[in-house]
Amino acid sequence: MTDKLGGRFTFPGTGSEVNRMGYGAMQLAGPGVYGPPKDEDAAIAVLREAVEAGVDHIDTSDYYGPHITNQIIKKALYPYPENLVIVTKLGARRPEDGSWQPAFSAEELTTGLHDNLRNLGLDTLDIVNYRVMGDPTGLGRAEGSIAAQIEVLAGLKEKGLIRNIGISNATANQIAEAQTITDIVCVQNNYNLAHREDDALIDDLAKQGIAYVPFFPLGGFTPLQSSKLSAVAAALDATPMQVALAWLLHRSPNILLIPGTSSIAHLRENLAAAQLAVPPESLTELDGIVSGLSVSA
């Protein structure tokens, strides 16, 4: 990619245009995304560096911490730049044991919305994703109607508390169901070089002009591992993680990236991936190694 931050994308029907390389704030909380970070000043510095570098799309949630991540974002960036799009999520809660639990009743969704507004210091949220908790682990996907939850978000949108609605950890059927209720501007699912089950979905969303935002673009808590990925990276004088991000930007023009980090050095590495020129033969090689990729601690 030759564009500084991967080129631009406009969320459908919103007029909100962002750089394709954004930032995910999950890692700004403490270990296990629970409690405060060891160094809040360092977390604030990462956010400010990201925005100064041109990041105008930040992904967050008030259940990160809980509350901690949004409070840090406010401390670091408020009053927010006019062009900054903050995307948050509803649908989960973090009890004192640090577990991830569903929170999808109308009362829980409404409370979560107001928690986000209060801790971010906003009157209206740019984009809110409904996070489907799926299987019991919270990470996998499971079919089932989400109409009731999307209707709650649509009602909050009518009240002016939400500008746009997205969906996270959803199946194609759930996305289609949500679209019968309200416009969906983005889908946020688990996808990377090792997890390619959404290939057809990405292409379908691209035809509709809907953003696809991979969470865990680098494998999440267990980074991607592949000898072939490492070989491509060495040939390009880049890190494997930079190549994995660059591959995602090449994969489809509707893909937006939100790699997270609590380190300025890693932030700079991630942002530099948007400028990495990957030759067609290297992209072909990366396309073909999914079966040999794994995630490893």
Residue 124 in domain? yes
CATH number of residue 103's parent domain = 3.20.20.100
Domain extent, residue 112, equals 8-295
The pair phi, psi for residue 162, each rounded to 5°, is -130, 135
Candidates 273, 205, 194; CA nearest to 239 is 273
Residue 242 lies in a domain: yes
Of the CA atoms within 13 Å of residue 197, those in its CB half-sphere come to 9
Q: What is the pLDDT of residue 2?
A: 40
Mind listing the pLDDT tens digit for each residue in 98-137? 999 999 999 999 999 999 999 999 999 999 999 998 766 5
pLDDT, tens digit (0-9, with 9 covering 90-100), for 228-237 = 889 999 999 9
pLDDT digits (tens, 9 = 90+) for 35-90: 999 999 999 999 999 999 999 999 999 999 999 999 999 999 999 999 999 999 99
How far CA 267 is from CA of 18, 64, 72, 118, 177, in Å, comes to 18, 19, 17, 27, 36
Domain annotation covers residue 1: no
- Beta strand pairing status for 294-295 and 224-225? antiparallel
Give me 98's structure tokens. Answer: 């640090």
Number of domains, the chain? 1
30 lies in some domain: yes
In a domain, 3, yes or no: no
pTM: 0.94
Indicate the SS3 state at residue 38: coil
Q: What is the pLDDT of residue 169?
A: 96
What tokens appear for 49 in the block? 């560096």
- Position 138 confidence tier, pLDDT thresholds 50, 70, 90: low
pLDDT score at 291: 54
Q: Is there a domain that residue 110 lies in?
A: yes
- Res 293 pLDDT > 90: no
Q: Is the residue at 126 inside a domain?
A: yes
Rounded Cα distance, 217 and 225, in Å: 13
Confidence of residue 297 (pLDDT cuts 50, 70, 90): very low
Q: How many helices (H) and strands (E) does the chain have?
A: 10, 13
Please, are residues 155 and 107 in contact by the beta-carbon 8 Å criterion? Answer: no
Residue 40 lies in a domain: yes
Please give the average per-residue pLDDT across 200-212, as a whole number: 98
Catalytic-residue membership of 78: no
How far apart, in Å, do the first and last CA atoms of the chain sit?
A: 29
Catalytic residue among 34, 64, 191, 212: 64
